[in-house]
Structure 1
């Protein structure tokens, strides 16, 4: 069972502290200060002499060469070893996800630690882990959850844990029985048992959610949140959605729901319900301040107005939208309406890893637009998306995401000299220098609740090299006969999924990729 990682008392020195973005858009900063940490929380920020007075017994970290920023938050994450590493090429989402069924199974602890290492070493201290979904018996579900959450506790990260829930249309936008009836016998015989094992009644999954809360929250209340993740509108019936959202509201949990990731999903909603996916969720009374909608690439102006009025958040997954050809979320239109935008790396970023600093650069550049005076996110706004807004989305709002007294000491120290390479004019705002010139190579130390988890740029809470060696051994062993059969089955499945998309009229035609040609946002 996951236990809370130890907290620490210490003093952390920095030449510049980026405390967080203020409502007026300015970035809060302190210079040449010490941060005193008590029981994992920031107790004091001030001149080093004052912070250190009477505290000679506390360990000290950092120096005036360091820039301190809040720990970053990956608000949308699935699993560790990437599909590309497993031989799955990039494709549109609907033809990419089915290929995951042929990927080699990786030990859950190792897989979780792999991506956790990448996240921590690039400054991410909190993650929304969205498990891809359960099958089989509840004992197996708990083993997976325990291995995942224990790994995050072992490495020292905060985590919001949830699992994707589907009760229809698993293979495509048509009923599974219809797809299965069109498959060759050998492909149908291979995949039908998998679908049957994953066909778990939603009330049973809600019971499991309650069991997760009872098992994990009491032991690590500062490090774990339990959330719910209805997979997407075309994967969830109305009854399932209402059950899931009611459960979250009753328990105080957060919802993270994939929505309008691709143009096909938007068209499915229009055909099925006669209006948009967002309008449908509103009609079901599913939208509230505890809800984050992942992706949102195909939202209209009307959709965004509804979301703003309901107090929902959006998780923007920029690399994912570009690499899968899913689209570009209208982030500037979201920000104009006051919708909080968090950042997620989804399966992996533009470099096929979990480097949030790189993702932040992409987000900044992607939403510049072409006007002379249009409102566009500056470096401070992007940092807020990747920290405070992400923490709110995962369920750690008001707890972490800023560097101020009373907040958790989730702190990233970056070496100003490595950012400068070799010098930066003092007129350059530190947050701009950090975003545009900073990289994971500039990260010196990372703290979670005052506990040192990264030192000299490397995770120190586990044997990272042993983890990497174990994963390498798993990925490089020869394919088994069962694995070869899985690849053959997937290769036989894809043409039938393509045919289904054509038959539904969802495989032909598309709108402009440039901000999805939304003229009303």
Structure 2
């Protein structure tokens, strides 16, 4: 990519620059943003950009609102479970059924969700691959395909993969549950629970090798994602924790998503999940916990003291009945909170503008006076704080000189149609009225990746058609077998979980 391709001027009638230390959204009006080599080099009046810059392409204008690119801080894969025939259920019954989902391949799957993200203004994503399958060569092959797909469409990413070494199907040893399966079902599941050669050291070597091979990619951060407390032994957590600190990598870990997970920690360790992780020396300002719906008394103080972040997945918690984090309390305590769409949002897509609305509304409370957070804080969760949790803190998430030019241009008329009083704060407009239809252009490093509301670097209709063609085919013998095995296993899985009800 040549420097010239990353040099441009972006014009806006109003620009949301970012939130100041007082929690207020900083605005600039009738502004021009000059981008050089993909970095915001100058911000000021358009007339100040004229001299010597006549050759630069210009985008936007006075009728547009500019803001930092949005960040989806918690994402897994593209084809949603609902699309694949898996209904919404409690998490513990939902996840095993993923084993019967059909695949369209890593490239198409990644491009599908990336199209939905980019066209709704999301420029960066924390991609958390669901599992390692096969051996190390397979791990690298899968990772490369995902990373290449994001590069193809032009997104910035953090790449991580859920690491597990115990309790894959339940909150205790899998042996008893497997033994309850019919023998042919047990024999199908058992070899598929763990990857080949999956040791803590092998996981560290995989991440290290992946980071080295992609070291020249400025749009990638290789992060660690220990799956959840019940899925990880203390030995695995300690190994990952040390490796992440040594590599300067971020850690993103699911934690106490459901009440049953909080119950597991209390029964297994005699304390909360957060306090157990603290006892391992696992916590730090590089650690983000996804969900945190069931924090216990004193947990928030521990997270604040260790400068951990939390990623709130509002749609996921509601659709699966998992619960919701006490986000207003976390924000009031100064804990950085990011937003993630998880598998998909309330409309079964990856529209962060919609996710922001739900996250704000869920935490209003019924009191006249409380510590509810406002539109500016919600936008910060979906921009600056999210960028930090991916490993791009200080590099993107704000519109200011020296940051990468990840910018969203929205058509103000579409947001205000038919009329909005000029007194209405722009941050309130973006939060409450902006929909993906208003997203006109999206830039990553100053390069146009969405124009007229559509991605520019891939043929979106061809991607959709190819996915439709693959999934419209009859089930293969292997797919039929997987569906049959999962169908036979589910009654045993439901019965096994009865004690956690």
CA deviation string 1:340-376 (max 9, x = no partner)? 0000000000000000000000011111101112121
Q: Does 1:200 align with 2:194?
A: no
CA distance in 2, matches of 1:174, 1:7: 54
CA distance in 2, matches of 1:4, 1:212: 25
Look up the match of 1:358: 354
- State how 1:326-341 maps to structure 2 within 5 Å: 326-341=322-337
Q: Does 1:309 align with 2:320?
A: no
Look up the match of 2:497: 501
Helix, strand or coil at the partner of 2:6: coil
Mapped contact 1:8–1:451 kept (Cα < 8 A): yes
Unaligned runs of 5+ in 1: 508-521
Mapped contact 1:7–1:449 kept (Cα < 8 A): no
CA distance in 2, matches of 1:197, 1:114: 26
Look up the match of 1:277: 273
CA distance in 2, matches of 1:301, 1:7: 52
Look up the match of 2:104: 106
Look up the match of 1:127: 125
Mapped contact 1:278–1:306 kept (Cα < 8 A): yes
Look up the match of 1:24: 22
Deviation at 1:4, TM superposition (A): 11
CA distance in 1, matches of 2:287, 2:237: 12
Unaligned runs of 5+ in 2: none
CA deviation string 1:189-232 (max 9, x = no partner)? 21112125456111111111110010012x21x21101000000
Q: Does 1:160 align with 2:158?
A: yes
Mapped contact 1:4–1:223 kept (Cα < 8 A): no
Look up the match of 1:51: 49
CA distance in 2, matches of 1:119, 1:5: 26
Computed over aligned residues only, the root mean square deviation of the Cα atoms, in angstroms, reads 1.3
Q: Does 1:253 align with 2:246?
A: no
Do the aligned partners of residues 321 and 239 (structure 1) sit closer, same or farther apart at CA in structure 2, a change above 3 Å counting?
same
Helix, strand or coil at the partner of 2:23: coil
Q: Does 1:404 align with 2:387?
A: no
CA distance in 2, matches of 1:468, 1:5: 32
Mapped contact 2:135–2:197 kept (Cα < 8 A): no
CA distance in 1, matches of 2:415, 2:3: 31
Which of 282, 285, 288 aligns to 1:289? It is 285
Q: Does 1:145 align with 2:143?
A: yes
Deviation at 1:53, TM superposition (A): 2.1
CA distance in 2, matches of 1:306, 1:4: 46
Normalised to the residue count of structure 2, the TM-score between the two structures is 0.98
Moved more, 190-199 or 493-502: 190-199
Mapped contact 1:387–1:402 kept (Cα < 8 A): yes
Normalised to the residue count of structure 1, the TM-score between the two structures is 0.95
CA distance in 1, matches of 2:119, 2:301: 38
Look up the match of 1:490: 486
- State how 1:212-223 maps to structure 2 within 5 Å: 212-217=210-215, 219-220=216-217, 222-223=218-219
Mapped contact 1:133–1:163 kept (Cα < 8 A): yes
Deviation at 1:486, TM superposition (A): 1.3
CA deviation string 1:415-439 (max 9, x = no partner)? 0100011111110001101111110
Deviation at 1:5, TM superposition (A): 11
Mapped contact 2:4–2:37 kept (Cα < 8 A): no
CA distance in 2, matches of 1:289, 1:466: 42
CA distance in 1, matches of 2:2, 2:76: 22
